[in-house]
Chain A
Amino acid sequence: MNYMPGTASLIEDIDKKHLVLLRDGRTLIGFLRSIDQFANLVLHQTVERIHVGKKYGDIPRGIFIVRGENVVLLGEIDLEKESETVLQQVSIEEILEEQRSQQQAKQEAEKAKTQALKDRGLSIPRVDMLDEY
């Protein structure tokens, strides 16, 4: 039953398993329990999933209340597709270690880039951190 036919509503997504992408790059997976007009969300049995390459690790987080402005997207998880995943689940310690080395490599590359730009008198501001509402 659609309360407002034709409009994008999260009402039908309630109580389903969802993947939430946050603006800071984190991925949360949980059951959507509550919504509002700002896309504030309440997630139940939430797990923070960290992806590095083909591996991933889940950190149980309990109940999450996400402020709408931090939400990039909300995806309904298709349980069939999820069971056929090619990704390999690893332990939390392992994935955190992998993430650390990935962040390190990224930071070094970023540092080299900003230094090169600085040497030429340029700088690049980050756009994805703006919220225009």
Chain B
Amino acid sequence: MILLSLSYSKQYHLRELFYSFFKSLVGKDVVVELKNDLSICGTLHSVDQYLNIKLTDISVTDPEKYPHMLSVKNCFIRGSVVRYVQLPADEVDTQLLQDAARKEAMQQKQ
């Protein structure tokens, strides 16, 4: 995992941590739930420092009361509208992530 190769002292912000975390998940299938209650399933193509997300091969998971997405295969989602990013449990080392986040939070406090 990419996180293992980045020493915690090199990351100055908690945001950098999650940027690295998402970078390590590129290529995996995720479900992004937005603040407007729209849920989109797709393959994580890329992420940026604002946690904007690009997904490929998307499908709207909930009943298609969002018909406008039918002709869209790839999309760019602004980071500020994301509520959740759902990932399969076996793709994430939660222990490592928790430790990293805790260390970052403590570093930020100082």
> For the complex, what is the distance from the CA of A50 to the CA of B69, rounded to whole Å?
13
Would you call A7 and B72 a contact (CB within 8 A)?
no
Would you call B80 and A131 a contact (CB within 8 A)?
yes
Smallest CB-CB separation from B35: which chain A residue?
A: A128
Instruction: Return chain B residues, CB-CB under 8 Å to A81.
Output: 70-73
Smallest CB-CB separation from B19: which chain A residue?
A: A7
Interface hit among A64-72, A91-99, A106-114: A64-72
Chain A, interface size category, equals 35 or more
Instruction: Return chain A residues, CB-CB under 8 Å to B26.
Output: 6
Would you call A9 and B48 a contact (CB within 8 A)?
yes
Q: Is B77 located at the chain interface by the 8 A CB criterion?
A: yes
Would you call B72 and A78 a contact (CB within 8 A)?
yes
Q: Which A residues are closer than 8 A to B by beta carbons? A: 6-10, 13, 19, 21, 23, 25, 27, 39, 49, 51, 54, 56, 68-69, 71-79, 81-82, 85-87, 127-128, 130-133
